[in-house]
Amino acid sequence: MTLTFRFTTFALLAASVPVFSQAAKPKTARPNVIYIYADDLGKGMLSAYGQRQFSTPNIDSLIHHGVSFANAYGCMLSAPARASLLTGYHDCHTDKWRISNGSQYIVNSPEEIAAVEHRLDSADITLPSGDYYLPQVFKQAGYTTAQIGKLEWGFAATREQMKAHGWDYYYGYLDHVRCHGYYPPWLFDNGRIDTIVGNTLPNCGKSIENETEETYRERWDRNGKSVYSQDIFVKKIIQFIDEHQNKPFFLYHPSQLPHGPVSVPAIDPELANNPNLTSLEKEYATMVKILDNTVGAITAELRRLGMEENTIVIFAADNGHEIYYSQKGRCEKPYKNFETGQLFDDYNDKFYSEKGGDRFNGNAGMAGLKRSNLEGGVHIPLAFYWKNHLSSGKVVEDIVSNYDFLPTMAEMLNVRLSTKKDGRSFLKLFSGKAHEETSRYIVFGSNYGPAIVTNDGWKLRYYQAEKTFELYNVRKDYREEHNLINQYPKKAEQLKAILLRECGGDLSNGINKAG
C-alpha cells in the first residue's frame, strides 16, 4: 500500500485504517501526527548515517522502517527554521515574521513576565487572517494541537502568540536563551507559570562553552539543578498521548537536544568507557542519546496503547551540525583548521571534520556548520514512520525543505490553503513519483548570504564577504569542493536571477546575523 491512496480523503482513511486498538477501544480514522524536531543535530550524529562512537537505535528505527529523505533542508539557524516550518515560507523574506531577541525572560520574578510579553507582542509581525500557521492547518481538519518543548517561534515568544498560531496546548520555554539551560526554575504551561521545585537558577543552569577546569566544575555543580528539562518534557508528552488517544491530534516536540552548552545529569553507560572521547565529548554524545531515548519512549507508548498504525511519527532537525565540545588542541571554537593553524572562513577554507578535529564527524563529511549556507549548515535528517502504511526503508532522493511540511500536511488533510506558500507538498513522493521536476528548487538564508538548490543537484551560494557566487552540483560533489561557476556561467546566471527574485530583489535579505 502507498501513502497516496491512504491520504486521498478521510473516507478512504476510514476504510483502510484500523479503528480499534488491541484493547478494543475505538480510535479515530484520521492519523495522529507527532513531529519531533531536534535542535542543531547534524546528520552525522546518527548511527544510521555513519556515527560510530555511539548508537541511536530508536531514531535509526524510524529511518530504516519508514520513509527517509536523502536531500532534506532546514535553515541555517534555529529561529528562522522554526518560523519557516510553522509558516510555510522560506527565510529570505523580511515581512513574514520578526526574529526577536532572546534572554528577555531571564527575570528576577515571574511577575515581570507580563511586561516582557507586552513588548514582544507590540513588535510582532503576524500573517494575515486566512494565511494559516501549521497548527491552524490541523485545527481546520478537527485536530487537537499541542507543542511541548523548547520554543515554537523566534528567539522569544509569548502566550498570546501561541494562541494566535493555533496551539490548543503548549508547555515549555518561550525563550531561546533560557532554553539553552536544562534546569528551568519555571516553564510556561498554557496560560500559567509552572514552578519547577529544586531548580533555582534564573538562566536555567546554562553552562559555559570551551572546556577548562573551571567550566567542568561549573557544569557538574548541582546546586540549583534538580530536575532535567527533557525528563519533564517526556512525562508531559506521554501524558498528552494518553489523554488524547481517542481523538486526532498533532503533537509538536521541538527539543532542546542536543543544543549546547553541554549539560546532562549523567553520562550514558554506552559512552562511559569510550577511550576515544573526552568527558565533554561523552557528555555531548549523551545529549544525543537522551534525544534518542525520547524517541524510544514515544514509540513505546504508541505500541503500548495500540496506536502505531494510527500515528505518523516524524523526525527532523532544524539546521546542520554545531560543535559544543570545544577543547584546546582538539576541536576549537572559533573553528580552527589544525592543518594550517588558521580560522576557517568557509570560502577559501571550508570547515571539514577531519581538518577541524571533530571526532564525531557530525556534519557527515559535508562542508560547513550551523549558520552557513554550505551543506553542513542546512542539510538535515528527515524521516516519516507510519506502521503498515509507509514503505519500510524507502529513501526519497528529491529535495524537500522544512517549509514544505505545512502544504504537505494541508494536502494530506484536505485543507485548502487560500494563500500561496513558498513550500510545496511532497505527498506524492511517498508513492514513488520521484525526480519529476528537475526545475524544483528551494532557497535559504545564512550568515554568509542566501543559496538556492535545485532538484537535479545544482546549488548556487552567495558569499557576502567577497560579493561573489559559487556553483556546485551537490548530487555529484556533496562536499562542495569543485566550484563550477566558470564552466557553467549560464546555469549560474539562471539560478542567480531566481535567487534574487526570491530575496525580493536584495540578496542582503538572505543574510541573518542572529546568533
Q: What's the number of domains the chain is made of? A: 1
In a domain, 44, yes or no: yes
Q: Judge whether 79 and 514 are in contact, CB under 8 Å.
A: yes
How many alpha carbons fall within 13 Å on the CB side of residue 373? 29
Alpha-carbon distances, residue 289 vs 45, 57, 497 (angstroms): 10, 9, 43
Taking 3-state DSSP, the helix, strand and coil percentages for the chain, each rounded to the nearest 5, stand at: 35, 15, 50
Q: Write b or e for each residue in 275-285: b if 16 or more Cβ atoms lie within 10 A of its Cβ, otherwise e.
A: eebebbbbbbb
Q: Which of 148, 151, 153, 187 is nearest to 168 (CA)?
A: 148
Per the structure block, which three cell numbers stand in for 149? 518543548
- The pLDDT of residue 439: 78
Asked if residue 301 is part of any domain, the answer here is yes
Q: Judge residue 481's burial from the number of C-beta atoms within 10 Å of its C-beta, 0-12 exposed, 13-18 middle, 19 or more buried.
A: exposed
Tell whether 470 is covered by a domain.
no
CATH of the domain at 148: 3.40.720.10
Q: pLDDT 10s digit of each residue in the chain, 515 long?
A: 333 323 332 233 333 333 222 333 334 458 999 999 999 999 999 999 999 999 999 999 999 999 999 999 999 999 999 999 999 999 999 899 888 778 889 888 888 999 999 999 998 888 999 999 999 999 999 999 999 999 877 788 899 999 999 999 999 999 888 999 999 999 999 989 999 999 999 999 999 999 999 999 999 999 999 999 999 999 999 999 999 999 999 999 999 999 999 999 999 999 999 999 999 999 999 999 999 999 999 999 999 999 999 999 999 999 999 999 999 999 999 999 999 999 999 999 999 999 999 999 999 999 999 999 999 999 999 999 999 999 999 999 999 999 999 999 999 999 999 999 999 999 999 987 655 577 799 999 999 999 999 999 999 999 999 999 999 999 999 999 999 999 999 999 999 999 999 999 999 999 875 54
Q: In a 10 Å sphere around its CB, with 0-12 CB exposed, 13-18 middle and 19+ buried, how is residue 440 labelled?
A: middle
Non-local CB neighbours of 250 within 8 Å, separated by 6+ positions: 32, 33, 34, 35, 135, 138, 143, 144, 145, 146
**For residue 494, what are the contacts with CB-CB under 8 A and spacing of at least 6?**
none
pTM: 0.93
Burial of 341 (0-12, 13-18, 19+ CB in 10 A): exposed
For residues 412 and 407, what is the distance between their CA atoms, to the nearest angstrom? 9
d(C-alpha 81, C-alpha 86), whole Å: 9
User: How many whole angstroms from its chain centre is CA 183?
Assistant: 21
pLDDT of residue 435: 54
Does some domain include residue 454? no
**Does a structural domain hold residue 404?**
yes
- Identify the three-state secondary structure at position 20: strand
- Cα dihedral sign, 89-439-378-252: positive
Q: Check if the beta carbon of residue 303 is closer than 8 Å to that of residue 59.
A: no
Q: Which residues contact 325 (CB under 8 A, 6 or more apart)?
A: 211, 260, 262, 278, 280, 281, 283, 284, 331
Domain residue limits at 335: 3-16+28-436
Residue 142 falls inside a structural domain:
yes
Is 348 domain-assigned?
Answer: yes
Looking at residue 282, its amino acid is K
- Per the domain annotation, does 285 fall within a domain? yes
Residue with cell 564552466: 487
Check if the beta carbon of residue 63 is closer than 8 Å to that of residue 384: no
Look up residue 33 and give its three cell numbers: 501526527
- DSSP calls for 401-441: EGGGHHHHHHHHTTPPPSS--S----GGGGGT--S--TT-E
Specify burial of residue 197 (Cβ count, 10 A radius: 0-12, 13-18, 19+). exposed
